[in-house]
Structure 1
Amino acid sequence: MDIVGYSSLVGANEQEAINALLNYRKLIDPFITKNNGRIFTTGGDSIFADFSSPVNGLRCAIFIQRMVCDLNLAEKIKPSMRFRIGLHIGDVLIQGNDLLGEAVNIAARIEQMADYGGVSMSESIYLHTKNSFENERFIDGGFPVFKNIKESIHVYSIEIAGTTPNPNLIQKVSAQSYQETVKGWMKDPEYATKKIMDAQNFKRSGQYDKAVKILIIRVLKGEMDANEELISMVEKKLIPQDFHNFVVDTFVMISKKLNSNDQTKFGLLLSNYALGKDNKFKSLYFWKMASNINDEAKFHLGKALLEDPTTSVNETKEAITYLTDAAMMKNVAAAVILGLFYSDKNRDEYDESTAFKWLWVAREFKDSKAQVYLEALVKTMNKATFVNSKIVAESLVDQIRWNVSNN
């Protein structure tokens, strides 16, 4: 376990950073012990711990990250800190206060794959714990290439509300087969020396495979015109089946170079481009990157999370926040989604008054389907609830109009 950006915090104010770390440790260390964990030598911003079972280790990791998230939201410790946690199973060597061995090295590498505020683990941890954490959502992170680690490690993570995507994660977990294949294209004179114009000619003649290879090479070389051309082929469904995942992985490889609007667009494109089991995860990745400054990304992220039956309770809360933010800026689709969500009697969150106010908002802003949903809901409400809900809903509409006019 380590702290994200600890060196920068120390550089800004060393004493404040040290005091903050000590305050976090006062809360973290007892919980490690409570879960049958032993803390070994800690080096500044890192903690090594050994647990009696994978379940104890993962339970502890999840609790720590959610506790830290709550502390940071409440601004109880300043400067606030974000942690990354990595878990692995293996034999270790204990020498005094030190924990040594290949398993320790692998756990440290896996930790580097975690989102900021997140938990990553090896497949061995995942297989030992998945049945004990049925309410959590595990994410397949693929087979990253670890420096100085010969063993092939399949990495998973748990989706935790409040995390920030690790900007290096997706690039590291891209399959080796992608890298090796594209390197082969780059060495092939049939494709390596070709330009965007050649790709367009191949596309016009129906040789889509050759067009895709050339465009991927040009995109990876930083040619934005090639990027737009490749997007166009995706939108027109011209990508051959065998190249679907190569195209998706290419989008992912250049993700850090995109602005938030393009990240949102890529996320939407991938979510509709249902051609691989992990595309949904990649869509969420793009939207999470963009959601800090992009309202459209917040909407798509919230919608995707609510539509997923495997979404955890904390993720559901996160999704509601995103959709509420969008609806408060007159995103009618978000208001409809919230209305239907709260009107679902099979959900623990069922609340007919809240459902009414969001469907009322959507209807006021001319959504025809909302009128139908609203009429059905009103039939189940008593008069007092209807009157009170209407007053709240009308006030909410006024607030949204004010938000839009003053934005």
Structure 2
Amino acid sequence: MAKSKFKKIVGWLHLWIGLVTGIVIFIVSITGCIYTFDQEIFDWVHRDIVYVEPENTVRPLSELLEKAKHSLGAEKIIDGVQITSPEKAYVFTATRVNDVANINLSAFSQYAYQDQVYINQYTGQVLGVMDMRYEFFHVVELLHRQLLLVKPVGSVIVGGFTLIFLIAVLTGLILWIPKNYKQLKRNLQIKFSAKWKRINYDLHNSVGFYVIPFAILFVITGLVWSFRWWELGMYKMLGEKERPSFFRTLPPFQGQDSTLNKTDVIYTELLSQLEGTPWRQIGIVFPTEENKSVLTVVITNNNDGWRGMNYYYFDGRTGKLFDALLQHNKSLGIKWRNSNLEIHTGRIYGWPTQILAFVASLICATLPITGFLIWWNKRRKHLRKKPPYRSGNSILSAY
């Protein structure tokens, strides 16, 4: 009797949590599904500005930076560059967060500008400039993370609904647990020869079971961007006492020329540090008057199962390397944090895990729909069984 009552409570929780969170979970899941192959689709659609014909000589980075500045105008500040492969153009970025007075509830109000400049590193030609605020996959990401609302509002709403969705997943698992072997076989199968109501039930019950590990993984990795306390909890679980800082203090300045024009010196030194190391991507954050250090992030191929992300810190005034945080020296917590996005999107091990993430996200998007249809069909059946009552000359259904 107690077991039956427990199952009823669990079933009630599963039902109403599913109904309350359904729309948000559908939006988050379907946008996550679309975002899984964002880079591949973006590169293909914009191949005319993304890909270049490799040549023997690459123009100096400082020259390319000047061309990027000229293409955007003096009012926009270039803050970094992304370098990937010899077949892809250099991508210079210019981002500025809007003043508080100009930010409203819309996610699009968060940035005054957010541009990318694509430059052929061999010829110096500006291939194209994109306003990333309204680029399709960026909008998909904003919808996925913030429901197109400003981050302090949207990310909390998404995080809250995602956390509640985790309860729905766990209660669904409890309800799925079979009483015997016969029910186990039924719970693991989809009877496509049955009527659509049974097929819909099997899609929710059976396919939902298979996707549970992925759904839990999506929740665990996704909540990191919504709640600082969740991120800190993950760090502590992995052995960190506090949230690590990636900021480094500049050493005392010794020299005469303190101007921040050491781009070529820094890039040359970085390439010498990477000699013999297979790298996939270089990201350089240019120095400003407020922050005269240069943070360089290099994505490398590695064999430890995590995303290989190495940090090199340069003094923007002298161009000298003064610190580094390399993959083999990082703690488990930092390795996880650097890999969290790739785990969340399925990119961690390439196409196989991306396909798994795509399919799992698509199934998660169907669960609110199939669950709603199960509830709706049961509700209609229940209403049909209720006896009508007379009121004057009309017969009204009892609700």
Q: Check whether TM > 0.5.
A: no
Shorter-chain TM-score range: under 0.3
Higher strand share: 2
TM-score, normalising length from structure 1? 0.21
The structure number with the bigger radius of gyration is 2
TM-score, normalising length from structure 2? 0.21
Larger relative contact order (Cα-Cα within 8 Å, sequence gap ≥ 6) = 2
